[in-house]
Structure 1
């Protein structure tokens, strides 16, 4: 049941048609990481000693590629993205370890004015809920134009013309009219398109999308994902997509990082993760996906919830919810096991098929 559901999603992903000679070709430039994060750790003031909300996270994404970060709410996905964008509030959040290199520059050591020059320019972010990200007191055109003026040093009329062009690119109906509309005058799907237009207004090299379709109905979700993928293919932008929806992952991902309780517990190419999941948490997520065929029993569930910082286990953080855990798992954090080149799982018993009871 678990493998069947995951495989069906993966086969759907494989049916995607990529343009010949497009940005997804495996050229040397495309495979070099644009963003390379190593051992990133973040803690909040007041957390128990030694407990980080993001702990030893490593990930990378190359130009024209999409990395999906997957996990339940509370796993540290959004905190990681905000740290990369320089948007964490300090205090209470503090980066206590690691590095994050963007196009060869260490983001974590840059002065704030240099981070501000990157943010909204070479790095951009789409937030989950556009109604809380758009200013209700300003028109759509003024809000898109603001970032263009800030980074491109153009006049207001030139910025508004660029804003109009972006509204056309994201296929908003009657863009000339919408340019002068306010956020409350637009639907949720249209507001999310505005957020995409705003993020792409300065042709960023890296786009971070934090659950951009969660608040939308399934039809609009499909439209937004198709739009993001088309724009990415046209521009060669690298993308980090944060989601808890494995259907979305199968549709757009090149690489996947599965996060649990602040740690990356499994990572690798999308085909490896879907065809051969090696961490019990990943397997649990796969098992909870409905199949398209006739149901042959109840969907799998993962018992319990993500632990809060004050109750974080000292060993494997997934151990209290894992059906395979033992004393070793409960007391010692597992190392990263390499399943195949590029595919790793943080589990004492990976590869799982080599250990009795894990198949």
Structure 2
């Protein structure tokens, strides 16, 4: 029997594809060490995205593949997570206490952008990341209600300069709604709102976040442009519904981020299909395949196609989004898949063309 070699181990690992990176672990540069001691093989992987609910299963799949390799008596695979900081605009200073900023945007209102932002943040937290949410929808803040934060809650002020974000469901939350009442509309012109947003994001004492999810206001106006130019965004998620009118506005959102050189991480299609609770009949009330067409047009991923669901609406209104209220449901799993894919896209942009170093120990 020929001696087991590093090449044979790597070739075996190349046969499996990380579904979030769309690459095998060797090509993706995830292999940190390979230790070969006779017929015993140990492999150490490092992933650059939040995947706490995925990594043990991934390690087991790789271990089974290695144990089927000729010459392998026993195999072990360990998977660690190391989330690095990344920003698309090199000229914009990094934000203290935040590694990666994700903008969740839409071309128009009413497409479920805020619900998506809340679900994404909570799903990232369930994957083991430290996560914050900034409610940048100055005129219609809703994250406080979605996270079950009582009306009238105010953030603490530190050193007369910093707002301390309010923690809910393991996520740090900051919103203009915490500085006003629910009955007081923000009657501000664009520059005033943009200035307030920048002050809010830079004067919040974010505590060592892997990801800050920014719930953007709908449209492509002053606030969106200000955020894109002055905040170190790592990437954007575009939310739409299938109908043509929503897609027209979503296209404007994609084009805006492209013009300011912020990568679009993917598209989320909400209200894609309605399934009758009585008979199970599926009906595409708002059209079909719109999100997929938008993603294909710009060469980005369709991160999720979410149904029109009473459970999503009712649980979110109650301050306990379905990601945490029904963790084993199919809807919650869709959000988890979305979160891992978003994190993986950021990791790939951060990694660039350089692969991680490989350490090989052979007998």
Q: Same fold (TM over 0.5)?
A: no
The interval holding the TM-score normalised by the smaller chain is 0.3 to 0.5
Q: What TM-score do the two structures reach when normalised by structure 1?
A: 0.32
